[in-house]
């Protein structure tokens, strides 16, 4: 990435040298003016709608603000209250569980499919479309479709398993199967993006290296382990980060399919934040929860980074 | 996987290799698993109330009127129109803000443009869910809107308005970054030539450089339309009246109401919500895939 970023800055200073000194300065000044003018809407927008909220969430988390006029600083009171809150504990556990199941599985499956699609095969367009369509479809639509698939009475899941003589299951209503059922949908929907990114990366793997590995008599596994896998490094990390951020954000799916039930079996962090903030109107409390989610995401990314480093070094 | 496998470079491949067959079988099963839920959705949308009582694949007759009746049960057409307004509004706003910023970052000699670029890249990493709560408060306190005074107090600001639905989620840093990447690849000599001919800086941006990045603009459009069309949490938070609701929200509420869950109608509504994005994907497939892949590699 840095290579592409260095590029333009060295180029934009060039006009200084070409044009005569006085005119040149005037020209540069008008360019700079236009530059700031063109940039200001984006800077203003990002400041108001991203930077200020990020700072505000940190500040709000130390208050008991709840839409009213009066509020006070409560320090870390929200945080200590959170860790006694059973709903929060359940959503924390479920979100982490969801992440540690969904992320590795979806990465492994999509890498395997991408490797398959990277061979010279027919109907590549069909396969690519098939794997990508769930990704472009709205999560709410996905959730309603799967709600119907998991329908205990006449849904596809029970109907299909019934063909093999399995007893019908209450997929989303059963404590044991509710979260796994959501995980299946999460993995299923997220494959497309990862496959496309892996596929693009696989096409960038050095042909020369693969061929020289062939000449050295390397088998497929050795070629994969020693040539392809290391070449995928940076892309792996990108896929990992986006997967972490994505799985921690899971909301639409849960909201439509289970509303966190049965009990608190599928309660996740964003659902808990949403309910605390917009149903119980505890904005300070919900902000503290958000800060914890931020720390968790950072922690996960940190661990991912360490794993990747360990993989490169070994 | 075993060392006995024939290396790819050796000549004289047999026409049918077992490895190939396994590959095709696995990929085909995978592709079917991806498509089946959609087929199931469409088939259900045509079934009668009696047919959905027990598991079956095909409807006895194609009940097209399910679609009509679904639209009478819930105002899907209005939801559809609302989604369209939001998608078009957000895309226009994004194009205006992000192409200008991307161009300035790529081509104009601003002091600290490298730091500014890092700033936008850093913002890419801020998940929307993190800023949810304060974002709501900010939108509620936009001054002089929705009965607010100049300090942003007293009214509802941009809540329950097109402004609130469109502006905060438009112009994401991702698109500024994408636009910049595309402008960087256009040679600066073209701008120089136009400058010599006396064209102003804004004219160079608008009339020389921007027409050259049309494919990039399409990529940004497709991405933004998809994001806007599929949005759910933000409209859920800031709309209170049914007349402003986008399709996904209407769908979710329809699905939640136990009295209203008539599966054929729900699946008809879902098909209506799904179809435009699938059609767009099929048409813009190449661009979409390239865009996605580029984000991954450069990001």
* DSSP track, B114-130: HHHHHHHHHHHT--HHH
Token pair 């109107």 in the structure block, residue? A281
B192-213: pLDDT as tens digits: 888 888 888 889 999 999 998 8
Q: Do A130 and B134 touch (CB under 8 A)?
A: no
pLDDT at A277: 92
Higher pLDDT, A20 or B15: B15
Query: Backbone dihedral region of A256: left (phi > 0), alpha (psi from -120 to 50 degrees) or beta?
Result: alpha
Candidates A10, A38, A235, A258: best to mutate against B (most CBs of B within 10 A) is A38
Query: How is chain B split into domains, by residue range?
Result: 18-62, 74-296
Pairwise CA distance, residues A196 & A128, whole Å = 8
Out of B8, B37, B278, whose CB is closest to A149? Answer: B37
Q: With 80 as the cut, is the pLDDT of residue B288 above it?
A: no
Pairwise CA distance, residues B52 & B67, whole Å = 16
Q: Spell out the residues 6+ positions from residue B99 whose beta carbon is closer than 8 angstroms to its own.
A: B179, B210, B213, B217, B220
Q: Do A32 and B110 touch (CB under 8 A)?
A: yes
Closest residue on chain B to A203 (Cα): B293
pLDDT at B195: 87
Mean pLDDT to the nearest integer, B211-224: 88
pLDDT at B8: 46
pTM: 0.85
User: Whole-number mean pLDDT of chain B?
Assistant: 85
DSSP letter (8 states) at residue B6: P
Spell out which residues of chain A touch residue B107, defining contact as CB-CB under 8 Å. Answer: 8, 12
Mean pLDDT to the nearest integer, B107-130: 89
Each residue's pLDDT, cut to its tens digit, for chain A (314 residues) gives 334 444 444 444 444 444 455 577 888 888 899 999 999 999 999 999 999 999 999 999 999 988 777 888 888 999 999 999 999 999 999 999 999 999 999 999 999 999 999 888 888 888 888 998 998 899 999 999 999 899 888 888 888 888 888 888 888 988 889 999 999 999 999 999 899 889 888 888 888 888 888 888 888 888 888 888 888 888 888 899 889 988 998 999 999 999 988 989 999 999 999 999 989 999 999 999 999 999 999 999 899 888 888 877 76
Out of A16, A38, A132, whose CB is closest to B205? Answer: A38
Torsion of CA B295, B174, B105, B287, to 10 degrees: 50
Mean pLDDT to the nearest integer, B11-33: 80
Report the run of H or E that residue B76 belongs to, with start and end. Answer: helix B76-107
Q: Count of A–B CB contacts within 8 Å?
A: 316
pLDDT at B294: 66
Closest residue on chain B to A278 (Cα): B237
The encoded tokens of residue B250 equal 């209407």
pLDDT at A268: 95
B78-113: pLDDT as tens digits: 999 999 999 999 999 999 999 999 999 999 988 888
pLDDT at B280: 87
Percent of chain B with pLDDT over 70: 91
Given CB atoms, is A205 within the 8 Å cutoff of chain B?
A: no
Query: How is chain A split into domains, by residue range?
Result: 80-313
Pairwise CA distance, residues A288 & A62, whole Å = 7
pLDDT at B2: 41
Q: Which of the following CATH numbers is that of domain B74-296: 1.10.3720.10, 3.40.50.2300, 3.20.20.70, 3.40.920.10?
A: 1.10.3720.10
So what's the ipTM on this one?
Answer: 0.84
What pLDDT band is residue B146 in, cutting at 50, 70 and 90? Answer: confident
Query: Backbone dihedral region of B198: left (phi > 0), alpha (psi from -120 to 50 degrees) or beta?
Result: left
Spell out which residues of chain B touch residue A252, defining contact as CB-CB under 8 Å. Answer: 232-233, 248, 252
What pLDDT band is residue B164 in, cutting at 50, 70 and 90? Answer: very high
Spell out which residues of chain B touch residue A45, defining contact as CB-CB under 8 Å. Answer: 97, 167, 170-171
Tell whether domain A80-313 is in CATH 1.10.3720.10. Answer: yes
Q: Do A28 and B135 touch (CB under 8 A)?
A: no
Out of A43, A48, A147, whose CB is closest to B255? Answer: A147
Q: With 70 as the cut, is the pLDDT of residue B258 above it?
A: no
What pLDDT band is residue B290 in, cutting at 50, 70 and 90? Answer: confident
Q: What is the 3-state secondary structure (H, E, C) of chain A?
A: CHHHHHHHHHHHCCHHHHCCHHHHHHHHHHHHHHHHHHHHHHHHHHHHHHHHHHHHHHHHCCECCCCCCCCCECCCHHHHHHCCCHHHHHHHHHHHHHHHHHHHHHHHHHHHHHHHHCCCCCCHHHHHHHHHHHHHCCHHHHHHHHHHHCCCCCCHHHHHHHHCCCCCCCCCCCHHHHHHHHHHHHHHHHHHHHHHHHHHHHHCCCHHHHHHHHHCCCCHHHHHHHHHHHHCHHHHHHHHHHHHHHHHCCCHHHHHHCCCCCCCCCCCHHHHHHHHHHCCCCHHHHHHHHHHHHHHHHHHHHHHHHHHHHHHHC
């Amino acid at each position: 990435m840095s290579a592409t970023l260095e590029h333009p800055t060295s180029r934009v200073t060039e006009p200084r040298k070409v044009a005569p000194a006085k005119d040149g300065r005037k020209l540069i000044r008008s360019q700079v003016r236009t530059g700031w003018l063109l940039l200001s809407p984006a800077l203003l927008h990002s400041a108001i709608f991203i930077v200020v909220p990020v700072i505000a969430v940190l500040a709000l988390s130390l208050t008991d603000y709840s839409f009213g006029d009066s509020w006070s600083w409560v320090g870390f009171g929200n945080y200590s209250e959170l860790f006694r809150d059973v709903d929060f504990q359940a959503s924390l556990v479920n979100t982490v569980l969801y992440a540690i199941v969904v992320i590795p599985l979806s990465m492994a499956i999509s890498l395997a499919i991408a490797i398959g699609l990277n061979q010279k095969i027919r109907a590549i367009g069909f396969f690519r479309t098939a794997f990508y369509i769930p990704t472009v479809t709205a999560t709410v639509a996905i959730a309603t479709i799967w709600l119907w698939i998991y329908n205990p009475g006449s849904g596809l899941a029970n109907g299909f398993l019934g063909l093999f003589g399995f007893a019908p299951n209450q997929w989303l209503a059963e404590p044991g199967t509710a979260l796994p059922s959501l995980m299946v949908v999460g993995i299923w929907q997220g494959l497309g993006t990862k496959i496309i990114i892996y596929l693009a990366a696989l096409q960038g793997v050095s042909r020369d290296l693969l061929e020289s590995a062939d000449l050295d008599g390397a088998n497929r596994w050795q070629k994969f382990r020693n040539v392809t896998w290391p070449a995928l490094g940076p892309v792996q990390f990108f896929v990992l980060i986006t997967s972490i951020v994505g799985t921690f954000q899971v909301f639409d799916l849960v909201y439509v399919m289970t509303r966190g039930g049965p009990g608190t079996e599928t309660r996740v962090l964003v659902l808990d934040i949403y309910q605390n903030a917009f149903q119980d109107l505890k904005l300070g409390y919900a902000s503290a929860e958000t800060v914890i989610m931020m720390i968790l995401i950072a922690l996960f990314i940190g661990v991912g980074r360490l794993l990747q480093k360990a993989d490169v070094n070994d | 996987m075993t060392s006995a496998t024939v290396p790819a470079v050796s000549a004289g491949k047999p026409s049918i290799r077992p490895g190939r067959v396994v590959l095709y079988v696995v990929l085909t099963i995978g592709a079917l698993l991806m498509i089946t839920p959609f087929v199931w959705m469409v088939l259900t949308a045509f079934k009668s109330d009696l047919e959905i009582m027990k598991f079956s694949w095909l409807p006895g007759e194609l009940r097209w009127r399910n679609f009509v009746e679904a639209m009478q049960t819930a105002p899907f057409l209005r939801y559809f129109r609302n989604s369209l307004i939001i998608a078009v509004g957000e895309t226009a706003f994004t194009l205006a803000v992000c192409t200008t910023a991307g161009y300035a970052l790529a081509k104009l000699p601003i002091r600290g443009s490298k730091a500014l670029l890092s700033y936008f890249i850093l913002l890419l990493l801020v998940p929307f869910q993190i800023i949810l709560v304060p974002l709501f408060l900010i939108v509620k306190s936009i001054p002089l809107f929705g009965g607010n005074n100049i300090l942003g107090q007293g009214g509802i600001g941009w809540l329950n308005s097109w402004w609130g639905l469109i502006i905060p989620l438009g112009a994401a840093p991702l698109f500024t970054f994408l636009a910049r990447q595309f402008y960087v690849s256009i040679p600066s000599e073209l701008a120089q030539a136009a400058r010599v001919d006396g064209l102003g800086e804004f004219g160079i941006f608008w009339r020389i450089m921007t027409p050259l990045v049309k494919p990039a603009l399409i990529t940004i459009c497709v991405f933004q339309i998809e994001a806007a069309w599929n949005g759910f949490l933000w409209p859920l938070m800031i709309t209170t009246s049914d007349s402003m609701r986008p399709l996904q929200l209407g769908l979710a509420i329809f699905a939640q109401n136990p009295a209203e869950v008539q599966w054929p109608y729900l699946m008809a509504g879902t098909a209506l919500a799904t179809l435009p994005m699938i059609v767009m994907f099929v048409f813009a497939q190449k661009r979409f895939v390239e865009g996605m892949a580029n984000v991954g590699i450069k990001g």
